[in-house]
Amino acid sequence: MTASDIAAPSIPLTATFAGRLEAHGHALAVATDAGERLSYIELAARADEFAASLPPGRHLLLIEAANELAPLIAYIAALRHGHPVIMAGDGGAGQLQRTIETYRPSVRFRKDGARWVAEPGPPGARNLHPDLAVLLSTSGSTAAAKLVRLDRSAVDANAKSIGEYLGLTSDDRAITTLPIHYSYGLSVVNSHLAAGGAILLTARSVVDDAFWDFFAAEEATSLAGVPYTYELFERIGLRLRRLPSLRTMTQAGGRLPPETARTYAVWARGAGVRFFVMYGQTEATARMAYVPPELLLDNPGCIGMAIPGGAFHLVDEAGGVVEGPDARGELVYRGANVMSGYALVEADLAKGRELSELPTGDLAMRDAQGLYRIVGRKTRFSKLFGLRISFDEVEDQLRRQGVSAIVTGDDELLAVGVVAAEPQVVAEGLSQALSLPVSGIVAIGYDELPTLSSGKMDYQALLAAARAAPSRRPPTRGGGGRAIESAFRRAFPRAAITPADSFVSLGGDSLGYVALSLDIEGRLGFLPERWEETSIADLQALADKAVTHNRGVFSLRGVESEVAIRAAAIISVVISHASAWPIGGSAHVLLLLSGYNLSRYQGSRLNDGGGRSMLATFFQRIIAPYYVILCLYLVSEKTFDVPSLLLVSNFFGRFGSFLEPYWFLEALLQCMLIFAALFAVGPVRRFAVRRPWDFGLALLAAALAVRVIASLMMPHEYLLERTPDAVFYLLAFGWCLHRATTVPRKLLLTLVCLLIAALQVAGPQEIWEHFQYPANVTHALWLVSAAGLILWAPRVFLPNLLHGVVGLIAAASFYIYLTHGVPVHGFLHVLHVQNVPLIVAVSVALGIGAYKVSEKVSERLARGQEGRRREVVP
């Protein structure tokens, strides 16, 4: 069957719900919690105005969606004027960049500071199918830029169908509890606008009192939620609240526990609220099934019946249709809302409809009433902690690592059978690779993998063994209550923390990263991938579900290579200042890590034009403590050192003094000023936003050129590579390390790293000043080791005891650097003691002590902030 055989009839733009907005006249279409209000006529006009601002022609539009008015208008404009639109979510900068690089959107609509701007993408025509309307990300666990292709008829049909079974009218007002880039959240928008209802637009969490103030003020009539939303409803006592305007509640996005469904069914019946449990997939635009409220109480574990215009049937393993009550088979859906197909590459955007029906991958049974119930999954995957895990992908991953293994599981655990491998090591590695708590992975060691009499692998035996494993009991709850939020408040004592915030959105830096990551790992039992971009609410959800187990002191735990490098480098710095040992180069590695973390944590702020705020944070967190030490020293010495006070003494040498080691902070500040100045230039910032990898390479090339030119024109080897012209390339290289998200990029940076190392060791002195032997060799070894680990081994495994020590030293690294001059100077120049191990031990202990004091101060500030909030919140 060809695509033309199954193509759905295309509908004109003017017949879609977005094309008929004016039919609802001056009725309210959108109200925001910022006070903005648009009627349907005004929404249509604003959408048309946005479309008119685009270049002529039909464009692929990418919207970095948020629950705000501007991206909603852009989305409606795309639907009204036939521009296919990618609704991009907050899956992290890496995922967004992969999507942009894969599909090359013609226009990128994003927030730049407080403004929303439409930025042109790469030039050239795009081959886009005439019916293509919306592209949404799938819920799979892989990092590929895989999108679901939805045509106009699918989007419109699903909006009308949902409105029909929910009974939506122009009197309905839906408040946004879900992001509009998520298919469920987007379906709420589509269905209500199709019915002439209103969207109450907010990005606030349901745990926020301001959310409910907005709900009451606008008399919202409906609430939508995924299972976790209903956990939050229980936490805030929703069923005890007085909500006179509420008429409808819906649930989808995963299986709601039957007891929760029953609880809300009973409450809703008494409160006069209609409660719908629904079932859907992004591949079916949003919804495929629902349970009528009157049937829910007796069928709390069902997904119900097909939505209007859709139909289900069951098929057996041979593809034959299964008939009769209580029959079981794979659930297959047919309806106008089925996707056209997947997109994996840009060329797929030219394809039309490739599917007439959707095999869901779920095994289901149909009862005598015609209601469907999910009883299992056909495909080999499970959903753990909200993540879809493919058993076959995990087996392939282990096979590539040389581990013979089989994998199975359910929605409670991932079971792994291994041969000739340490089970705990395998579990730890998968925990980090899959962003799962290690408590959710049970690895079983075998001499030979279990098989059936047929010779096939016995997955059921493995699953039974995993369920019975001693490590499954007795679990201890991880981090309940508001543990994650409390940890963030300690890390950001002066910030107004909300559940929607993340480490990156709060302007986190490398100084706070290590300590907070260790705290989160301790509460979750693992460190989620891209946790720094994950909201506090999502991290707390993982903490509430996590179970942690006691670990032996020699059991292995993963730690980021960057953390291990930081700990080793700071110890090396102390040793080099306390001795004549040939281990130089660690301070330069710390500059490399500074560039890496600058991209990682401050890249978004710089992209939004926040260079000044970045510098303000740097002054507050780094320079201010150093200035205290500087001033105390100058007072004690009764001297007035202008270059030091101006933070430019690194241009003068300052050799042999107590202050000499602090050249690092001055050079780092000067490099930060360069970054802020570059991103203050509009064209440079736009280039960095549109093409971050190319920007990084250009920055590195320019920095290396400056280094060479400075060596030729202004020889100053006596400054020992402590000025920005000599070291800025290290920060630029670190920036590129963070942006190297593909194998070709990593290979390119590896070659660049080896070239730089060669120049450091044997480069011509006239074009590349370098240290004399053996310092030149140690500098090169530090650079190659650090870059190699970050690129090719982002996590290393350490014994549990050492894991904690390394993490603590890395977390306290700044304070060790800041205070180590006191014991070094005291032992060497006052007491004339040259015991290097003793000096290192005292320096590390002093730095850790200072770090612990700073933590206590942060906790007190956080409590003070919390107390003031409570005083002003009734």
Residue 784: per-residue pLDDT: 96
pLDDT per residue as tens digits for the range 259-269: 889 999 999 99
Matching residue, tokens 């960095």: 688
Question: In this model, does residue 44 exceed pLDDT 60?
Answer: yes
Q: 621: closest CA among 572, 669, 576, 552?
A: 669
CB-neighbour burial class of residue 445 (10 A; exposed 0-12, middle 13-18, buried 19+) = middle
pLDDT band, residue 546 (cuts 50/70/90): low
pLDDT per residue as tens digits for the range 568-622: 999 999 999 999 898 989 999 999 999 999 988 888 778 777 788 889 888 988 9
Which of the pair, 164 or 856, is modelled with greater confidence?
164
Which of the pair, 435 or 614, is modelled with greater confidence?
614
What is the C-alpha separation between 627 and 646, in angstroms, rounded? 10
Mean pLDDT for the stretch of residues 443-471: 76
Residue 227: per-residue pLDDT: 82
pTM, entire model: 0.53
Mean pLDDT for the stretch of residues 453-474: 69
pLDDT band, residue 471 (cuts 50/70/90): low
Question: In this model, does residue 474 exceed pLDDT 50?
Answer: no
Residue 570: per-residue pLDDT: 96
Residue 21: per-residue pLDDT: 97
What is the C-alpha separation between 154 and 334, in angstroms, rounded? 12
Average model confidence (pLDDT) for the chain?
86
Which of the pair, 451 or 242, is modelled with greater confidence?
242
What is the C-alpha separation between 376 and 12, in angstroms, rounded? 40
* Integer CA distances (angstroms), 757 to 264, 289, 446, 782, in order: 64, 61, 45, 9
Residue 544: per-residue pLDDT: 65
Question: In this model, does residue 1 exceed pLDDT 50?
Answer: no
Residue 91: per-residue pLDDT: 52
- The region of weakest confidence among 544-558, 593-607, 621-635 is 544-558
Residue 639 identity: T
> Which residues neighbour 170 within 8 Å (Cβ) at sequence distance 6 or greater?
24, 27, 195, 196, 197
Q: Tell me what percent of the chain is helix, strand and coil, each rounded to the nearest 5.
A: 50, 15, 30
What does DSSP say about strands 441-446 and 381-384: parallel, antiparallel, or unpaired? unpaired
Cα of 480 vs its chain's centroid, Å: 22
Specify whether the CB–CB gap between 129 and 354 falls below 8 A.
no
C-alpha atoms less than 13 angstroms from C-alpha of 327 in its C-beta half-sphere: 15
Residue 325: per-residue pLDDT: 75
Q: What is the DSSP string of 554-591?
A: TSEEEEEHHHHHHHHHHHHHHHHHHS--S-TTHHHHHH
Query: How many other C-beta atoms lie within 10 A of the C-beta of residue 694?
Result: 12
Q: Could you tell me what percent of the chain has a pLDDT over 90?
A: 51
Q: Could you tell me what percent of the chain has a pLDDT over 70?
A: 89
CB-neighbour burial class of residue 721 (10 A; exposed 0-12, middle 13-18, buried 19+) = buried
pLDDT per residue as tens digits for the range 729-774: 999 999 999 989 788 899 999 999 999 999 989 888 777 877 888 9
The strands making up 132-137's β-sheet, listed across from edge to edge, are 115-120, 107-112, 61-64, 85-88, 132-137, 147-151, 341-343
